[in-house]
Structure 1
């Protein structure tokens, strides 16, 4: 006698209290009328391997992964997608029936889909992209921009060495720019991206000279709290097309939800409201 199980998914991190993913996936489950649950789980780094072995046995079909586990899960996965290994981190795990799991990174996908939805006239090939920051998020953005056909990516970071290391990993289409010259880099770019947490609520402001911003540019910030960062407000005042960071969070969730629950969900205004609510 077979029984139908209710698929479970969730997000693991340490801490997990700030995650917006439960509201996001919960909205989709409810509006699509699907049986299933999405659960936030605080998992200490010492217990990560054990938790990932136990979750499939408890009925979980997969999980999202947030800080500080995004790199550690790659070591434990039985299969890692090309983009996850290129980025050096995973944010989406798909559990298999034999207890092994598949690790993917959908951050870059979320970043590009957010731009496509909210700056539909953006043409990747029209000119270079300027990226502020050289952490894990910057890596995902670089991979996705090169993939989309951006001719040149310039990276500037307060610690120059990190920017240089990141640039070296990607060859001659990616260059590191001294933080002191970030203003000039911004002026030369068709797309400007802040991948740092600077400008986020409770974090220091992004201290970069923004005089280079001008009409015709697309400017996006991966920070979504506040939705309109000072960078975006300034860009808007200069006549740039601006895209906030919330859409990246929403779009990166689509591939995982589709794999876990069997339906490709849509990113809508109602979803934005539910995620922020």
Structure 2
């Protein structure tokens, strides 16, 4: 007997925690459905989506690296904010099973920052490390919340182009944004930061660097203002060297499970038509961290 199902696609995909998250919620709600992981190569995206659209049991999929931008070409529509961001992480069959794309990374990323963002600040600045699909969502989200951005990538020209596309300073409400080489943050600095009272500073690793199987992320915490919050979107390992060093330097930290669970909750409702049971977050975090 067939069962409804959703899945996560990417290359690689074995490390994904999404099946555990969605499976946990399905169990808590007693929904008779499955959530799977599917390894899809870049040249297989079109065939994958065509086959799934024709499958009446398929409820949609999450999209992870490296397909968040490439997948847009194969969709009937990309909804806001996915269209503006230029990256999709959630696909679902809409009317007549035409495939629609959404980006739930934005609400997922912002969720653990809500208490801070509700406060008034004299100045907000974020140093964002990485220029991939997740970084596009984070740049868009923080620019809309009035942050001045410093975007660092291995290709500063790509970082500059991304800022010009996604976060024009006059429209974002922040100051002039800056693009720098990622290597800029690798060596210590003796820069004397001004008074940060009443300011909100973030340092966000939006890259796969530091992930298991990837090169380490070289970031010297002398580049972070006092009181800055360190936020790493990497989930494997959960306790990254980036976060360990940030904590040792006296900074508050946010790990990747916050964004992962937050974005998954929005996607879950697209797939299965019910809100995720977030009252069980503490239990879910224990499972994912074990």
Residue 49 of structure 2 corresponds to 52
1:228 aligns with 2:231: no
Gaps of 5+ in 2: 195-199
Matches within 5 A, 1:23-38: 23-38=20-35
Q: Structure 1 residues 57, 97: closer, same or farther in 2, change over 3 A?
A: farther
Q: Structure 1 residues 34, 25: closer, same or farther in 2, change over 3 A?
A: same
> Over the residues paired in the alignment, what is the CA RMSD in angstroms?
2.6
Instruction: Please tell me whether the aligned partners of residues 108 and 144 of structure 1 are also in contact (alpha carbons under 8 angstroms).
Output: yes
Matches within 5 A, 1:134-153: 134-147=131-144, 149-153=145-149
**Among candidates 148, 158, 161, match of residue 157 of structure 2:** 161
**Aligned mates of 1:55, 1:171 — CA distance in 2:** 38
**Aligned mates of 2:212, 2:192 — CA distance in 1:** 23
Superposition TM-score, scaled by structure 1 size: 0.86
**Aligned mates of 1:186, 1:77 — CA distance in 2:** 49
**Among candidates 91, 100, 111, match of residue 93 of structure 1:** 91
Residue 288 of structure 2 corresponds to 275
Greater CA drift, 238-247 or 9-18: 9-18
Matches within 5 A, 1:8-157: 8-58=5-55, 59-96=57-94, 98-116=96-114, 120-121=115-116, 123=119, 125=121, 126-147=123-144, 149-157=145-153
Greater CA drift, 187-196 or 230-239: 187-196
Instruction: Please tell me whether the aligned partners of residues 21 and 275 of structure 1 are also in contact (alpha carbons under 8 angstroms).
Output: no
Gaps of 5+ in 1: none
CA displacement at 1:275 relative to structure 2: 3.0
Superposition TM-score, scaled by structure 2 size: 0.83
